[in-house]
Amino acid sequence: MTSVKYDGLHHRHRHRHHHRHHDHHHHHHHHHHHHHQHHHRDRHHRRHHHHHNEQQQQQQQQQHEQQHANSGFVLEVSIQALLRRLISDAWAAADAVARDLLRQLTPDEIAGLIGGRGFWSNGGVPRLKLPALHMTDGPSGARGPLPGLASACVPCGAALGATWDLELCRKIGALLGQETKVKGAHILLGPTVNLQRHPLGGRNFECFSEDPQLSAALAAAYIEGVQEQGVACCVKHLVANDQEHRRSYISAEVSEKALREVYLVPFEAAVEAGCMAVMTGYNRVNGTFCSENRFLLQEILREEWGFRGCVMSDWTGTHSVWGSLEAGLDLEMPEAPGMFYKDRLSRLFHGDPDGLAEMTKPRALAVLRVMARLGLQPGSLPTPAPAVSPNSPELRELLAMAAAESVVLLKNGSGPSGGPLPLGRGPVAVLGPSSRRLTTQGGGSAAVEENPGSVNLVEALRRRLGEHAVHYGRGTDAATRLLPPPGPAELRAVEGEGLLKAEFVETSSWEHLPIPEDRPAAEAAIRALNFGFFTGVYYNQDPPSRKFRPRGPWAVRYRGELTSQHTGRHELSLAGTGRFRLLVRGQCLIDAVGDGESLEMGGFLGDLGAEQRAELELSAGQSVEVCVLWAPGPIRPSRLHLGFRQKPWASEAELQAEATELARRAEAAVVVLGSPGQDSEGRDQSFEVCGLELVRAVAAVQPRTIVCLNVGAAKQLPPDLLKAGAVLVCWLGGQEAAEGLARVLCGEGWGPSGRLPATWPYKLEDTAIGEGLKRYPGVGTQVFYSEGVLLGHRWFQSQGISPQFCFGHGLAYTSFEYSDAELRELRGPGPSASGASAFKPEAELELMVRIRNSGVRAGKEVLQVFAERRSGADATWRLLLGFTKVALYPGEVQVAAVKFLAREATRHWCERTRTWAVEPCCDVLIASSGEEQWRTALRIATPVQAFTDILQCLHRSELRRLLLPASTGLANMMPSPELFGSLNHVSTLS
């Protein structure tokens, strides 16, 4: 499985340097330069190849040097070995430092290391001047601990998934590593490697793909990029945390086979890439909470995979002291009342300091090891204060390139006249409110206060096509479900700093709102209404502030001055828990009771329920006093969202008529359809009705209509939307989304080169969860993963269902031809016993193919290599073995190659024996944009080889279990002395 994690990357560079240039020196230099890309494959090779003695290896190497005199292969192998050694040396050195420190700590100091102290850090050890370990969200940008500090915002996980580009993911990782340091943090809480199990997953936008192998490869590259910068990644959320519905306690009922073959694959890749931290999910797996799941945290993560880093909880995602400690949870986050590793720890072990030390030392050791790896030692310099992202031109260029690479062209014309893309020189109508302000990121922990983007889409197109060639029409008043919060330009506190002044008042009951005359018991400044994580103000506990510690119910009065930037109609809105009232110039415009139920369901990321809106007219520069009264009620968390926007004068019909007229007069029309960025975006599968009506009206008068889908993940597209001339997906493309999209629309660079990282169905009933409620959203507190390993594209293939757009689909502005495909053995333990037609399971195979750009424009092709597997008598499904992205000028030919181990094609987990087994044959095929181009049969030599293979996949502890006297039957199955040699090797592995 693991070689996929590096294939695409390694091969893209390998064939560019080797096949194209035949430049030996170039190749050597290249491997020095990119050596970090290979180390995580190594533990894999150590696991699978250690049984050959040195003599055999020397012979192989000599044969190999003759075969590949110009490939730098031996150098590559030695660099891999060196890197493997460096990483294990780094952990060993960190372990020594950690053990030395641990001896000096008191039980209370240990508790301060393994529990949160504050929202974003542990406690450090003040007595020894050991600084705290600081963390920051999230996968799409480093937000930092303080609101209001701008950050670089990278394309969402699904957009990075759509690039199928490992080198790009590594660069994005490096950028995020730098941003993490700017924010004064040591650990970036990302990437999210849960799988897009179905289209309704609320955080699908945050995850790379539905495919475990694609997710694994991209995650490994991203993690290496981040950690090269001297900060750590925390891969999340272990495991099967794939839905928002009841996410804090639902139990994913999932087979060990599905866990090992599918859901754990990206986490294993992360560990092999050297990831320093792992975050547990909020959910339960087969009844046991992830944060106290010994099978996941000890048996698989530490014992089988050899993970030496730190395991932390998701925020407030713990349920006991004892269960978490015993299962191997190292760090409980954050500090909050009712958490377990703080006060309850000492209470549980009251009077038994030795027992406490015994249980907590291994946990503290893991935390100290990571701190040592990150250079946090007694007397270390204090962490720099969080700062604003530099937002340099280089950073913006990388983000624009990433946004452009992620764009997937779903459709471009159907007739012989060709499609409307790329845009010509003529006038273009750009329609839809999102074209002035694309949704660039999702909500929740992935969101940041982002750097201002260089341009919006209208400006970006005007720069290319000319000021007078691009005409903007709003087209519809599709206000998002929650109005955006006012920023510092529009709102400021009546007195003092910040956006609003908060005045806390003690009340007689939770229903009572403060009256304007009440004297405040305490005051505070509200500095931001967009925390990324959520918008608005938010209380997780009482007391609400350090200065205000009420004994009973309380309420709050917020006062500020609102200034309009424009003349015209405006809307103010409130949504939240408890009871709230909005006064403008002393007049009551909103008085309502919020919906606390939905928030309780989803914790602080829950739905806020219905938003109450009020209209007012303001002229540009006019200021009005705004007062919000709020009784949050007894339920925590409690939250209040204040929204503000300018509202168009025109009616919906007038806006649509104006847009249609602009489209009719133009050469082409670009319509942007968006979905509001929210933590749980995917629940809503449809677009705003008014947006779809706009597309219908425009497409009726303009055949060259281009629909841009500004969404975070797979959507069901209504048939009439697909009647438009062209349809593309630009995802939630980060701060430079508009610049990247404009490049693709105008045909700059390589044109569109994204491929879908997930299947887009015609309707939900076609997907694996269409079978009934048990698979989603679950029944009671359980959700059943009864589709097993058949998720995403595997489900559609095995059931013979056609999707709307298949996994890996994506068009270019050019066409590609494949020829001379060849599957060959790169190196292996000599010729196979059963003749050359069957490979040994551990043989390393290379699939090479010539790809020619047969069109007239430059473009990038993604070579996708699959193994076709059987499930049942006639049902088949595909396993992604590897991929590589190739850039070709018109007429250019390149030899692209993907490597994998023979066993990866047919290896599967046997539930009966609880071991890996290898099937004797399968088909290997090449696909382009999901369409099959070529296939060949792959035969694997079994039975003894397959058995050897199983043994090599076993961990030492499992081997001991197998070799106990009880299993004497095993001896009869092991005729070959070579096998005993391999056993000795396995048993001495560290």
Place of tokens 């415009």: 589
Q: Are 236 and 208 in contact (CB under 8 A)?
A: no
Return the closest-CA partner of residue 457 out of 730, 659, 664.
Answer: 730
Return the closest-CA partner of residue 168 out of 712, 754, 896, 711.
Answer: 754
For residues 544-566, average pLDDT: 80
pLDDT class of 836 with cuts at 50, 70, 90:
very low
| Of 59-73, 393-407, 639-653, minimum mean pLDDT range | 59-73
The reported pLDDT for the residue numbered 330 is: 96
Residue pLDDT, tens place only, 31-79: 444 444 344 434 344 334 444 444 454 455 445 444 443 344 555 556 6
| Of 186-190, 636-640, 808-812, minimum mean pLDDT range | 636-640
Residue 148 or 214, more confident:
214
| Of 391-405, 615-629, 823-837, 893-907, minimum mean pLDDT range | 823-837
For residues 721-733, average pLDDT: 93
| Of 79-83, 316-320, 821-825, minimum mean pLDDT range | 79-83
The reported pLDDT for the residue numbered 599 is: 45
For residues 812-821, average pLDDT: 94
pLDDT at 226 over 80: yes
pLDDT class of 769 with cuts at 50, 70, 90:
confident
Sheet with 844-853, strands from edge to edge, namely: 816-827, 844-853, 893-901
pLDDT at 968 over 60: no
Residue pLDDT, tens place only, 842-888: 889 999 999 999 999 999 999 999 999 876 666 789 999 999 999 99
Residues marked active site are found at 314
Place of tokens 């990483």: 87
- Dmax (CA) of the chain: 93
Residue pLDDT, tens place only, 132-173: 999 998 788 898 887 778 899 999 999 999 999 999 999 999
Residue pLDDT, tens place only, 306-330: 999 999 999 989 999 989 999 999 9
For residues 824-837, average pLDDT: 55
The reported pLDDT for the residue numbered 647 is: 77
pLDDT class of 245 with cuts at 50, 70, 90:
confident
pLDDT class of 276 with cuts at 50, 70, 90:
very high
The reported pLDDT for the residue numbered 943 is: 53
For residues 788-816, average pLDDT: 94
Q: Rounded mean pLDDT of the chain?
A: 81
For residues 246-257, average pLDDT: 89
pLDDT at 275 over 80: yes
pLDDT at 100 over 90: yes
SS3 content of the chain, % helix, strand, coil (to 5): 35, 25, 40
pLDDT at 445 over 70: no
pLDDT class of 933 with cuts at 50, 70, 90:
confident
Residue pLDDT, tens place only, 290-301: 999 999 999 999
Residue 68 or 271, more confident:
271
Domains of the chain: residue spans and CATH: 4-81+814-953 (2.60.40.10), 104-129+287-379 (no CATH), 395-481+650-772 (3.40.50.1700), 491-647 (2.60.120.260), 956-990 (no CATH)
pLDDT at 407 over 90: yes
The reported pLDDT for the residue numbered 21 is: 40
**The tokens of 122 are what?**
């542990």
Residues of the chain with pLDDT > 90, as a percent, come to 44
The reported pLDDT for the residue numbered 228 is: 95
Distance CA 521, CA 568 (A): 38
The reported pLDDT for the residue numbered 545 is: 63
Mapping DSSP onto H, E and C, the string for 88-126 reads HHHHHHHHHHHHHHHCCCCHHHHHHHHEECCCCEECCEH
The reported pLDDT for the residue numbered 976 is: 40
Residue pLDDT, tens place only, 520-543: 878 888 777 654 444 566 565 555
For residues 190-200, average pLDDT: 91
pLDDT at 239 over 50: yes
Distance CA 273, CA 267 (A): 10
The reported pLDDT for the residue numbered 605 is: 45
Q: What is the DSSP string of 544-608?
A: SSSS---SS-EEEEEEEEEE-SSSEEEEEEEEESSEEEEEETTEEEEEEE--HHHHHHHGGGS--
Cis ω before 532 (30° cut-off from 0): no
The reported pLDDT for the residue numbered 249 is: 85
For residues 634-649, average pLDDT: 76
The reported pLDDT for the residue numbered 950 is: 52
| pTM of the entire predicted model | 0.80
The reported pLDDT for the residue numbered 342 is: 77
For residues 913-934, average pLDDT: 88
Residue pLDDT, tens place only, 592-617: 887 654 444 444 444 566 678 888 88
Pairing of strands 859-870, 921-928: antiparallel
The reported pLDDT for the residue numbered 785 is: 93
The reported pLDDT for the residue numbered 137 is: 87
Place of tokens 């490869």: 217
The reported pLDDT for the residue numbered 258 is: 96
pLDDT class of 969 with cuts at 50, 70, 90:
very low
Residue pLDDT, tens place only, 655-680: 889 999 999 999 999 999 886 544 34
Return the closest-CA partner of residue 729 out of 751, 758, 707, 750.
Answer: 707
The reported pLDDT for the residue numbered 510 is: 77
pLDDT at 688 over 80: no
- At residue 595, φ and ψ (nearest 5 deg) are -110, 100
Helices 42-49 and 944-953, interaxial angle, to 10°? 130
The reported pLDDT for the residue numbered 702 is: 94
Query: How many CB atoms are located within 10 Å of the residue 674 CB?
Result: 23
| Of 394-398, 425-429, 725-729, 941-945, minimum mean pLDDT range | 941-945
Residue pLDDT, tens place only, 329-350: 999 998 887 788 877 887 777 7
Which residues are bridge partners to 779 per DSSP? 782
Distance CA 532, CA 150 (A): 10
Residue pLDDT, tens place only, 102-112: 999 988 889 88
The reported pLDDT for the residue numbered 376 is: 93
pLDDT class of 919 with cuts at 50, 70, 90:
confident
